[in-house]
Amino acid sequence: MIFSNADVIRRVNADFVPVALKAGLVNNPPDTDEGRLYREIGRSKILPQGICVVNSAGKVLDWVFMFDDDKSVLAFLDRARKRFAKFPDAIKPFPAERYMKFPSQKLADIEDNGKVVPIVGRHPEGGKLSGQATRPVGDHHRPGIWPGARQGRKARGRHGAPGKLCRGPLQRARERSTPPSPLALTSPGSPLGKAERAQSANE
């Protein structure tokens, strides 16, 4: 996985705000201001999964699905930073660059539609982020505590059967091999960055 590479982790933490988005919301955005941001991101997507970089106005700078090698990941991040420096907002229109595989398989650019993505300062009273998960609360879960997913030989029930929260080898393999779905890398001042910090504060 590219995000287990130490150099990539350092670069992303230093220069970007990683935000994991729910594929269902990107592919079927709700009819809200937040949904319009999802729609703008999804307008230029290559596949339902991938990695995109947006600027402070929520405009997509780059989409990528795969990389040629580990070094190309850092090269992609460098390119995204340069494009962000050139197009930090929605004042000057620019196309979204797309790569099936960076840098060897470049796809056609998607031109800017000229629309400005609404930036909401805060959610309505009683509202929450569309992608925010709800913590289970019950006899075995205290508020504010996420249940862990157990795995291995000891994660079994009374009669030796895997417990409800136990993941088998196949599930773990799928988790390791499935690309992010999708991951947005953005600037701290962008609507996605603000939403990420708001969600972290709520948690």
pLDDT tens for residues 160-174? 555 554 445 444 444
Q: Is residue 79 part of a domain?
A: yes
Whole domain around residue 86: which residue ranges? 2-115+173-202
Q: What is the pLDDT of residue 95?
A: 97
Supply angle C-alpha 18, 124, 41, rounded to 5. Answer: 35
In a domain, 160, yes or no: no
CA distance 17 to 196: 8
Those residues whose C-beta lies under 8 Å from the C-beta of residue 112, and which sit 6 or more positions away, are 59, 93, 94, 95, 96
Domain count, the chain: 1
What is the C-alpha to C-alpha distance for residues 15 and 35, in angstroms, rounded to an integer? Answer: 26
Classify strands 51-54 and 17-20 as parallel, antiparallel or unpaired: unpaired
| CB neighbour burial string for 144-181, b if at least 16 within 10 angstroms, e if fewer | eeeeeeebeeebeeeeeeeeeebbeeeeeeeeeeeebb
Q: Does residue 61 form part of some domain? A: yes
Q: Which sign does the torsion angle of CA 64, 79, 106, 115 carry?
A: positive
For residue 199, the number of C-alpha atoms closer than 13 Å in the C-beta half-sphere is 17
Going edge to edge, which strands form the sheet with 60-67?
17-20, 183-186, 51-54, 60-67, 97-102, 105-106
pLDDT band at 182 (very low <50, low <70, confident <90, very high): very low
pTM over 0.85: no
Give the per-residue pLDDT at 119.
Answer: 72
pLDDT tens profile 148-158: 444 444 445 55
In a domain, 81, yes or no: yes
Q: What is the C-alpha to C-alpha distance for residues 137 and 114, in angstroms, rounded to an integer?
A: 44
Confidence check: pLDDT of 70 > 50: yes
Residue 57 inside a domain? The answer is yes
Q: Evaluate if residue 199 carries a pLDDT over 60.
A: no
For 12-53, write each residue's pLDDT tens digit: 888 888 888 888 888 888 888 888 888 999 999 999 889 999
Tell whether the model's pLDDT for residue 113 goes beyond 60.
yes
Per-residue pLDDT at 91: 92
153 located within any domain? no
Q: What is the pLDDT of residue 175?
A: 41
In a domain? residue 106: yes
> How many CA atoms, within 13 angstroms, populate the side-chain half-sphere of residue 75?
12
CA angle 142, 24, 33 (to 5 degrees): 90
Answer whether residue 147 is part of any domain.
no
Share of the chain above pLDDT 70, in %: 58
- Decide if pLDDT at 146 tops 80: no
